[in-house]
Amino acid sequence: MSMTFNPKVFGDIEKAEERWRKELEEIFRQHGERLERFSTVSDVEIGRLYTPLDVRDQRYMDALGFPGEYPFTRGVQPSMYRGRLWTMRMFAGLGTAKDTNRRFHVLVNAGQTGLSTAFDMPTLMGYDSDASKARGECGRCGVAIDTLKDMEDLFDGLPIDQITTSMTINPPASVVWAMYIAMAENRGIPRNVIGGTIQNDMLKEFIAQKTFMCPPRPSVRLVTDTVEFGTREVPRWNTISISGYHIREAGSTAVQELAFTLADGIAYTEEALKRGLPVDSFAPRFSFFFNSHLDFFEEIAKFRAARRMWGKIMRERFKAQNPRSWWLRFHTQTAGCSLTAQQPYNNVVRTALEALAAVLGGTQSLHTNSLDEVLAIPTEEAATIALRTQQIIAEESGVANTIDPLGGSYFVEGLTDKMERDAFEIIRKIDDMGGMLAAIERNYPQQEIADAAYHYQRQIDAGEKTVVGVNKYVTEEDVPVEILEIDEELERLQIEKLNRVKSLRDQTRVAECLERVGEACAADTNVMEPVIAAVKAQATLQEVCDVYRSVFGIYRDPGIY
């Protein structure tokens, strides 16, 4: 029970601070302070100076401890980047499966250490490329996947038994994952060998990202099916990546991102427990995904607070025994919403700072945005610069040479404690509403995020927050940036391919398989085996999702603003 500092020291510091503050106020009376109010991107007010007084209540072993030890503030692994660097996992997806496969090979050859797949909007919403709703969207902001054949083309020639794959897919996650498992098995790689992540976080879709098919409760039921199946059959797979990223992109503050994400994690845990799964059987496979925004210290504090909070939630609230259940492992993406179309080369600098914050915050995996992301899907050159940014941080800057180098900073520790207090307060409110599903049904997180986004935009318009090139240091000249063009022919070619697959398959078998998927949905038995069988028979993504829609109904956006 040792204090961080000898209490006798505080008296001396208080006296010295008093002296300093008087002197400082005299200076500001004469020359003024640069801003009337200093605050983070999230509008948390920041003090002039942080001293040991700000962390006087912190007990080192309780609040920080050692890396790899509860409460994990300083990192989840004992060795952190001294042992192995984070996984450099660039998000990629464009055009057809063959186009994206080519980009994967370019990135792997450039030194990327993990794959990450972006799907196009129809795939994300559970439609095939020939659906009327899909007009104009095929392959536009991700890769189009209709059938197992597309999945096979996507990973052609890539060593999926050695490299892990992340797939950003939510409402149809069970179907896309089934395709991945089927693709691996057709190659002779058993399901218990493959490793990767499906995002599969439906709660944040209703809160922020807004890609949904079915209402919240059956959506969460499908997620729980994958958690249960993964626990039994695919032990190396992360069945959910609980995502704050999109919550932040939708305009939340850092504290809201932290609170809503962990509240989602609590909801998934409760659902899996209701299924009768012991917490330590599935919790070690939960992973997280955070945004790294521009406010350097606020972000570092957020990551450190997140680890400590999840550790407490798992250990104290859910009584998990396995230390791996206490780990909050997370992927980070730099903030797309911080990038500007104006003076786009500035985005390289923004991304570098955000990536540095993620690394100092102890991320396990990182995607750095490309400078042209605000304009279109990244070109190969822009994606490579983004990857090189990570490599320079990792291997030239020296920041990965010691673990949690900012641990003990009065400011960072003070801010970490504040983030934790404020986020737990929001989680308490959600608990009082009856949990995250109930909170979503009354639009609580949606409205909070809308308010924060509007507040931030108003601050930018009023010049209270600076965005270089947008509301300050504006230039008239246009900086030419090369833009990736998606071929207009693509949609037609993809539909042709889909029709070819449909004409060659055994229609009776497909119909039987789809019927079994429907039976599993209605009977509340796990859908994964029937879905794997269906996609192996070349049932399309939409055909399976139409079964979900017909059994569970569809969800309409309530249009909160």
Where along the sequence are the contacts to another protein (CB under 8 A)?
Answer: 121-122, 124-125, 127, 132-137, 140-141, 205, 209-211, 249-251, 337, 340-342, 374-377, 450, 453-454, 457-458, 460-461, 467, 470-471, 478, 483, 486, 556-561
Question: Which residue number, 163 or 376, has a Cβ lying nearer to another protein?
Answer: 376
Instruction: Considering the complex, state which of residue 322 and residue 343 has its C-beta at the smaller distance from another protein.
Output: 343
* Contact criterion met (CB below 8 Å) for 537 and 506: yes
Q: What angle do CA 494, 538, 533 make, to 5 degrees?
A: 145
- In angstroms, the CA 27 to CA 245 distance is 42
- Sheet strands (E) in 152-292: 165-168, 196-198, 237-238, 240-243, 286-292
Give whichever of 97 and 449 is closer to another protein, judged by the CB atom. Answer: 449
DSSP state, residue 311: H
Shortest CB 416 distance to another protein, Å: 27
User: How do strand 87-92 and strand 165-168 relate by DSSP bridges?
Assistant: unpaired
Cβ proximity of 76 and 362 under 8 Å: yes
For residue 266, give Cα distances in angstroms to 1, 261, 269, 402, 473. Answer: 30, 9, 5, 32, 44
Task: For the CB of residue 249, give the shortest distance to another protein in the complex, in Å.
Answer: 7
Quote the least distance from Cβ 550 to another protein, whole Å.
18
Report how far residue 555's alpha carbon sits from residue 211's, in angstroms, rounded to the nearest whole number: 10
Comparing CB distances to another protein, the nearer of 88 and 202 is 202
Q: What is the arrangement of strands in the sheet containing 165-168, beginning at the earlier edge strand?
A: 237-238, 196-198, 165-168, 114-118, 87-92, 365-367, 330-334, 286-292, 240-243
Q: How far is the CB of 177 from another protein (least distance, A)?
A: 21
Residue among 205 and 413 whose Cβ is closer to another protein? 205
Nearest by Cα to 46 from 254, 245, 250: 254
User: Which backbone phi and psi does 286 adopt, to 5 degrees?
Assistant: -75, 135
Residue 115 has phi, psi (to 5 degrees) of -105, 150
> Which CB atom, from 31 or from 556, has the smaller least distance to another protein?
556
Give whichever of 28 and 454 is closer to another protein, judged by the CB atom: 454
Q: How far is the CB of 141 from another protein (least distance, A)?
A: 5
**CB-wise, 343 or 409, nearer to another protein?**
343
Question: Quick one: DSSP state of residue 337?
Answer: G
- Beta carbon of residue 250, minimum distance to another protein (angstroms, whole number): 5
For residues 139 and 255, what is the distance between their CA atoms, to the nearest angstrom? Answer: 35
CB of 481 to another protein, least distance (A): 9
- The nearest distance, CB 472 to another protein, in angstroms, is 12
